[in-house]
Amino acid sequence: MKYIFVTGGVVSSLGKGLAAASIGTLLEHRGLKVLLQKFDPYLNVDPGTMSPYQHGEVYVLDDGAETDLDLGHYERFTHANLSQLNSLSSGQVFESVIKNEREGKYLGATVQFIPHVTDEIKNRLKRTTENNPDTDVIITEIGGTVGDIEGHLFLEALRQFALDVGSENVCFIHVTLLPMVKAAGEIKTKPTQQSVAKLREIGIQPDIIICRTEHDLDDDNRRKIAMFCNVKRENVVAFRDVKDTIYECPIDLRRDKVDRLVVDSLGLKSDTPDLSKWQSFVDRLVNPTHKTTIAVVGKYIELNDAYKSIYESLTIAGAAHDTAVEVIKIDAEDIEKHGAKAIIGEVSGILVPGGFGERGIEGKILAAQYARENKIPYFGICLGMQIATIEFARNVCGIEKANSTEFKKKTSHPVISLQEEQLGVKDLGGSMRLGSCESILYPGTKSYELYGGVDTIHERHRHRWEFNPAYREQLEAAGLTIASVSKAEGLVEIIEIADHPFFVAAQFHPEFKSKPNSPHPIFSGFVKASLEHS
């Protein structure tokens, strides 16, 4: 097994995650089997409880792990199927050290940062290795910036790990920023030198330095960085700001042959990558023939990262239909104040994403009504499915008080409720339905057709509330189609409206399963319907 560790220096938000993901893409195109993971030094056990304002979207894996959005990049840029093991935070590390200490597992020893905490980190790497015996390379991104107090233990653990497994099996890649000082008209390499010095202080000598830069990196600067940072000149790689799309990143990094440097440094045999399919995907993204406009009606719309996978899935689906997808971000609360027509206006599709809590709910319901009545393609995801159900119950079935018990605990018509409430259980567990689940698709529905006529699907979940089966018959009689139910419990997974160009809403999160050249079928169908509508 070979290991790549990606650290960052100088500033945060350097695109370390994209650099790691892109290296994954390139190695995969060389025929290697890769696995990507993230070590995050923060103290939260996972980002599941963090506000999207703090952390962007929570990316959910098949096994239900709630992870950093960088894992979304990893899964979209490669075919790696990630698990709980691939997302480690300081919170998890300390939780397990303290648990071991309480259980007396350290046999009376004084429990210390080194070796107990660092061993815990190394053990995780060993477990990942053991669980993925057919993997060629594990790429681990370390969150944060070199020099952060909280990242120090992770770096120390990696230094030791490299000694344990042999330095010939480990490649350290350090991503830094080369700022341009406008007044001097020069790119500055000093911050990179200092950040590498910081890394070497810990005992880590990077093998490759990836320099984020707005400009080209000339020979002089390459030589300077190489000399001061103690690496070969060709191992200084430029990572330019990509012009149009993040999917250009692997192509940009390939210009300095970063993948060859990596395989050479690790002594791996592999083929020259054929990036033609990836390139043609990028070409379609950059020069689309058509354009369609889709409104995303949400709560965290001012924050790009909050609905990251949804935006990426729309872009990916757009490429499949040779169309640019212009996303109009709409705050649901604005619809409550001014009405759907005034705020949403003329668009070719309306998407209501997932969410928690009461704020903006009535605005989202108005958006679903606007889409249904005006025959505008509608795509509801998780909460977007629940509010579409409420809207249909209220305005088509005439159940005026229809609501979810999430928003109105004592509602007389809980069309969306907790499973415990549906079963009459007193003790509300309040635990979320998380991760992949198998569901049945009903033939004759739009979804059945979109998925290409398969009978069962596997999709990822992250929610507590459910469609209340007590209302199923009444809603179906009024024209709502149930297109899918979970295999185990019969929980409603997809609703549709047949008498509509495209009205599909899913209880699960299809945005976690789109990849370049392989858009999720519902996203693909939605973008196609929007294009036809426009």
- Enumerate binding residues for ligand GLN (CB under 6 A): 354-356, 382-383, 406, 462-465
Supply 146's token pair. Answer: 């070199």
Q: Which is nearer to ligand GLN, 82 or 416 (CB)?
A: 416
- Helix extents (H) in 134-256: 152-165, 190-201, 219-229, 249-254
**Least CB distance from residue 355 to ligand GLN, whole Å?**
5
**Which residue number, 74 or 512, has a Cβ lying nearer to ligand GLN?**
512
- Out of 229, 437, 511, 533, which one is annotated catalytic? 511
Catalytic residue among 171, 382, 397, 437: 382
Q: Which is nearer to ligand GLN, 59 or 465 (CB)?
A: 465
User: Which one, 463 or 513, has the nearer CB to ligand GLN?
Assistant: 463
Closest by Cα among 163, 233, 230, 149 to 197: 230
- Compute the least distance from the CB of residue 357 to ligand GLN, in Å: 7
Annotated active-site residue 533? The verdict is no
Q: How far is the CB of 105 from ligand GLN (least distance, A)?
A: 37
- Minimal distance in Å, beta carbon 301 to ligand GLN? 15
Is residue 57 part of the annotated active site? The answer reads no
Residues 6+ apart with CB under 8 A from 108: none
**The two structure tokens encoding residue 389:** 């159900």
Q: Of the listed 29, 174, 461, 509, which one is catalytic?
A: 509
**Whole-number Cα distances in Å, 533 to 222, 323, 364:** 52, 13, 21
Q: By C-beta, is 294 or 383 nearer to ligand GLN?
A: 383
Tokens of 530: 């929007």
Q: Which residue is nearest to ligand GLN (CB)?
A: 354
Cβ neighbours for 220, distance < 8 A, ≥ 6 positions apart: none
Taking the complex as a whole, how short is the minimal distance between the CB of residue 414 and ligand GLN, in angstroms?
A: 13
User: Residue 424 Cβ, how far from ligand GLN at the closest point, in Å?
Assistant: 19
3-state DSSP call for residue 245? coil
Q: Residue 208: which residues within 8 A CB-CB, separation 6 or more?
A: 171, 172, 173, 174, 231, 235, 236, 237, 258, 261, 262, 265
| Amino acid letter, residue 59 | Y
For 327, residues 6+ apart whose C-beta sits below 8 A from its C-beta are 294, 295, 296, 311, 314
Q: Which is nearer to ligand GLN, 344 or 382 (CB)?
A: 382
Query: 443, 466, 448: which is closest to 504 by C-alpha?
Result: 448
User: Quick check: is 55 catalytic?
Assistant: no
Cis peptide before 521 (omega within 30 of 0): no
DSSP string across 300-346: STT-GGGGHHHHHHHHHHHHHTTEEEEEEEEEHHHHHHH-HHHHH-S
Q: Cα 206–212–213 angle (5° rounding)?
A: 135
Residue 455, class by beta-carbon neighbours within 10 Å (0-12 exposed, 13-18 middle, 19+ buried)? exposed
Which two tokens mark 392?
């249909």
Q: Pick between residue 137 and residue 382 the one whose CB is nearest to ligand GLN.
A: 382
- Nearest residue (CB) to ligand GLN, 37 versus 67: 67
* HSE toward the beta carbon, residue 102, CA cutoff 13 A: 6
Answer positive or negative: Cα dihedral of 139, 210, 148, 72. Answer: negative
Q: Rounded to an integer, what distance in angstroms lies between the CA atom of residue 239 and that of residue 242?
A: 8
> How is residue 111 annotated by DSSP?
P
Shortest distance, position 317 Cβ to ligand GLN, whole Å: 20
Q: Which segments of 336-398 are extended strands (E)?
A: 349-352, 378-381
> At closest approach, how far in Å is the CB of 434 from ligand GLN?
10
Residue with tokens 């103690």: 230
444 CB burial (10 A radius; 0-12, 13-18, 19+): exposed
Shortest distance (Å) from residue 63 CB to ligand GLN: 17
CB of 353 to ligand GLN, least distance (A): 7
Nearer to ligand GLN, 38 or 464 (CB): 464
- Helix 16-29 to helix 258-266 angle (10° resolution) is 70
Which of 174, 464 has the CB closer to ligand GLN?
Answer: 464
Cα dist from 348 to 33, 289, 384, whole Å = 40, 16, 17
Known catalytic residues are 382, 509, 511
